[in-house]
Amino acid sequence: MADSSFASAPLGAPAPVSATAPAARGRRRMLRALVGGLVVALPVLVIALGIDLLAPGHYRHMASIAMINLMIVLGLQVYMGNSGIVHLGHSAFVGLGAYGVAILATPVAMKALSIPDAPLGLAQVQLHPLGAALAALAVVGVIALLTGLIIARLSGVAATIVSLAFLIVCHGMFLNWPALFKGNQAFFGIPREIGFWGVAAAAAGTVVLARLFRESRTGMQLRASAQDMQAARALGLDVTRLRRRAWILSALICGGAGVMFAYLTGTISPRAFYFQQVFLTLAMLILGGMATVTGAVLGTLLLSVGLEVIRRAESGLDLGFVALPQMLGLSGVALGIVIVLGMALRPQGLAGRLELDEYIATTLRRGRSTAAPGTAQGEREK
Amino acid sequence: MLEVSGINKRFGGVAALSEVSFSCNRDEMIGLIGPNGAGKSTLVNVLSGFLCADSGSLAVNGRVVARCDPIAAVRAGIARTFQTSRLFGDMTVRQNVEVAHSRCMELRPAEGVGVDPEILIDECGLTALSGLPAATLAYGNQRLLEIARSMALAPAFLLLDEPAAGLNDAETALLARRIIAIREQHGCGIVVIDHDLSFINTLCERLVVMDHGRVIASGPPETIWSDPRVIEVYVGQTPPTETQQATIQ
Ligand SMILES: Nc1ncnc2c1ncn2[C@@H]1O[C@H](COP(=O)(O)OP(=O)(O)OP(=O)(O)O)[C@@H](O)[C@H]1O
Ligand SMILES: [Mg+2]
């Protein structure tokens, strides 16, 4: 971009009297973030509506799972996208949320069969689903607060390794404490409280929440620290505290996704919250672009659809003119290829640096400035 | 008043700073000069809390500033820039300044309310570029943006580490005028480091000369340039030491 104004900008010209005070501008920025979040959430709701009206029934379940994955990816984006630190432990929080409501909301009669020896008399407890969800999130919040005390002090690889260790510890706990978590077996009988539209609303709400966080004071400062840590220190930013806040919000979102998952499917098992989920959601975020909420949505959408297509091809596909043979294991390979290609061609992810609404605004502005040449100044580069 | 007294800092065997003392008034612009490896950047790092001094103290307006704590330094009103510019590259010019101002409102709310990021951007001549990612700016504008960002902390004292490094003569002259204009608007004390002596001379009423980690002279330019110790360092009668050679970038 030609940038010739350095020498030519007027010097000592009177500063324009700013129409709005910085505080008012801050409020406007959050309002813009809210609108931007709604713009990004809109496609989610439109797709949900399309599936609800047009697609055969079993697509609704698939789409529900995809939207829960979207929540997890958004939770991941809140921490990883803003702090720039790779996070591999987020599925632990998904599991904690899911097991939390499983233990608290499952009917006592059911628990007499599945976890009769639960500690603290939990086998005799049955909370209202909403109360159970809040209690589960409170547990997630406390655990996030405690783990955040450690992990927020760490940078780069060290933080990533600790997040991975946390995943393994939680998985070990689910597996090896059968009195509470039922071990390797499925935990069944969780009330199925949430339907397709409940999940869709939660996913859309999470999109907006993640976007509000991104543009908030904390989010902006955290993103700045990810760009240049020394410059962040020079501004007196408290990077540890910023990371801790993002870590906790991220955990709560992932925990919320776990709650949704448990209430949607009614059955959970530890395997669902382990490496496979970690890598799938990580791939979604990286493919879409972790810097933006738009990237999280885009990556989830593309990989969800892509993997479903591949899954069908795996079990043999009749295209009418040619019938493809059964190809087991294709989805794993294809997932790998997509990630490698995506990273090679667009390392910052498909969405890049701009959110959907920013991209639209930039395109409109560019269109306007080509209509009236000579006014194209100060617009974004891409 | 910025008061630096008796600062010592050693790196292994090298005394990067020995008994460094000087002071700067709130309406003063001081030039900190000295050959490569003299300890100028180390001093900035100590004053801004990036490095822990082995001994010595720093006070702003009579209040002692906690050591090795960048947050305490910012809260006390000390802002700094870097010898090589460090911007938030993917963020826009405006966001770079807004981030600093948002932190100012947390650490120095009383001073921060008087600062408007948009006006700072304008004073640095960057308004037309305010929507661009900082990394795409020309080098001279990056240096100006770093200054605008520091000023968004509403500092009482600004430490500029070689702001003119890498700029051509015209850019350096413009930078000098912008620094003067900003200081007139916002009135903070400035300590500016640079090897470009004519740049320093246009800006500063007083010079502090360092060599081998010591302050060897300080005072108005006329007396500095007739000081035999300064002449010796600058005319280079003594050959550079090993450590000096090692730090020439
Ligand atoms: N982090 C560090 N670790 C070890 N030694 C250091 C460190 N920083 C600086 N030094 C040493 O301290 C001395 C002073 O360095 P400093 O960078 O402060 O010099 P300077 O005056 O800023 O030089 P220049 O004009 O080249 O920027 C040098 O000998 C340098 O090698
Ligand atoms: Mg230096």
From first to last of its 382 residues, what are the pLDDT tens digits of chain A? 444 444 444 444 444 444 467 778 888 889 999 999 999 999 999 999 999 999 888 889 999 999 999 999 999 999 999 999 999 999 999 999 999 999 999 999 999 888 888 888 888 889 999 999 999 999 999 999 999 999 999 988 999 999 999 999 999 999 999 889 998 999 999 999 999 999 999 999 999 999 999 999 999 999 999 999 999 999 999 999 999 999 999 999 999 999 999 999 999 999 999 998 998 999 999 999 999 999 999 999 999 998 888 887 777 666 666 666 666 667 777 777 877 887 788 888 999 889 999 999 888 888 877 765 544 444 444 3
From first to last of its 249 residues, what are the pLDDT tens digits of chain B? 999 999 999 999 899 999 999 999 998 999 999 999 999 999 999 999 999 999 999 999 999 999 999 999 999 999 999 999 999 999 999 999 999 999 999 999 999 999 999 999 999 999 999 999 999 999 999 999 999 999 999 999 999 999 999 899 999 999 999 999 999 989 899 999 999 999 999 999 999 999 999 999 999 988 988 888 888 887 765 444 445 445 544
Question: Using one digit for the tens of pLDDT, what is the confidence trace for A221-249?
Answer: 999 999 999 999 999 999 999 999 999 99
Cα B32 to ligand 1 centroid, rounded to whole Å: 14
Cα B247 to ligand 1 centroid, rounded to whole Å: 7
Rounded to an integer, what distance in angstroms lies between the CA atom of residue A92 and that of residue A165?
10
The closest of A150, A151, A137 to A104, measured between CA atoms, is A137
Q: What percent of chain A has pLDDT over 90?
A: 65
Question: To the nearest whole angstrom, how far is the Cα of B16 from the nearest Cα of chain A?
Answer: 21
* Inter-residue contact B128 to A377 (CB < 8 Å): yes
> What is the 8-class DSSP label of residue B33?
E
Residue nearest to atom 5 of ligand 1 (CA): B11
What is the reported pLDDT for A1? 41
Residues 122-181 of B with CB under 8 A from A: 122-123, 125-133, 136-138, 140-141, 144, 149-150, 153, 170-171, 174, 177-178, 181
**Residue A227: closest CA among chain B residues belongs to which residue?**
B88
Q: Is A375 on the interface with B (CB under 8 A)?
A: no
The ligand 1 atom nearest the CA atom of B247:
31
Q: Is A217 on the interface with B (CB under 8 A)?
A: yes
Residue A328: what are its φ and ψ, rounded to 5°? -70, 145
Query: What does the block give as tokens for A70?
Result: 């979207």
* Residue in B99, B133, B141 nearest the CB of A235: B99
- Residue of A5, A6, A223, A238 for testing the chain B interface, max B β-carbons within 10 Å: A6
Q: Which domains does chain B carry? A: 1-77+178-249 (3.40.50.300), 83-154 (no CATH)
* A45 Cβ neighbours under 8 A, 6+ residues apart: A200, A204
* Residue in B96, B122, B137 nearest the CB of A15: B122
Q: 3-state class of A85 per DSSP? A: coil
**What are the boundaries of each domain within chain A?**
27-274
Rounded to an integer, what distance in angstroms lies between the CA atom of residue A115 and that of residue A101?
14
* A6–B174 CB contact, under 8 Å: yes
> What is the 8-class DSSP label of residue B135?
G
pTM of the model: 0.90
> What is the 8-class DSSP label of residue A306?
H
| Amino acid identity, position A380 | R
Cβ atoms < 10 Å from Cβ of A5: 18
What is the reported pLDDT for A333? 79
User: Which secondary-structure segment (H or E) carries B76?
Assistant: helix B70-76
Query: What does the block give as tokens for B233?
Result: 């360092």
Rounded to an integer, what distance in angstroms lies between the CA atom of residue A80 and that of residue A291?
8
Residue linked to tokens 């970690």:
A278
Q: Is B247 on the interface with A (CB under 8 A)?
A: no
Cβ atoms < 10 Å from Cβ of A339: 17
Query: What does the block give as tokens for A61?
Result: 């379940």
What is the reported pLDDT for A313? 75
* Residue in B107, B128, B133 nearest the CB of A236: B107
User: Which secondary-structure segment (H or E) carries B234?
Assistant: helix B228-235
**Ligand 1 binding site (Cβ under 6 Å of any ligand atom):** B 11, 14, 16, 34, 36-42, 83, 243, 247
Orientation of helix A275-288 relative to helix A90-105, angle to 10°: 130
Query: What does the block give as tokens for A42?
Result: 């809109």
A361 neighbourhood in chain B, CB within 8 Å: none
A236 neighbourhood in chain B, CB within 8 Å: 70-71, 73-75, 103, 107, 153
Asked if CATH classification 1.10.3470 holds for the domain at A27-274, the reply, yes or no, is yes
Exposed (0-12), middle (13-18) or buried (19+): which is A109, by Cβ within 10 Å? exposed
Query: How many CB contacts within 8 angstroms connect chain A with chain B?
Result: 133
Rounded to an integer, what distance in angstroms lies between the CA atom of residue A62 and that of residue A300?
13
Scanning chain A, the segments in alpha helix (DSSP H) are: 5-8, 22-54, 57-76, 82-83, 90-105, 108-114, 129-151, 156-176, 178-181, 196-215, 217-227, 229-234, 239-265, 275-288, 293-314, 330-345, 356-371
Cα A104 to ligand 1 centroid, rounded to whole Å: 60
Question: To the nearest whole angstrom, how far is the Cα of B204 from the nearest Cα of chain A?
Answer: 20
What is the reported pLDDT for A317? 63
What is the reported pLDDT for A322? 66
The ligand 1 atom nearest the CA atom of B45:
18
The closest of A296, A298, A289 to A348, measured between CA atoms, is A289
The ligand 1 atom nearest the CA atom of B162:
27
Orientation of helix A239-265 relative to helix A196-215, angle to 10°: 170
Residue linked to tokens 């920025």:
A29
Rounded to an integer, what distance in angstroms lies between the CA atom of residue A171 and that of residue A160?
17
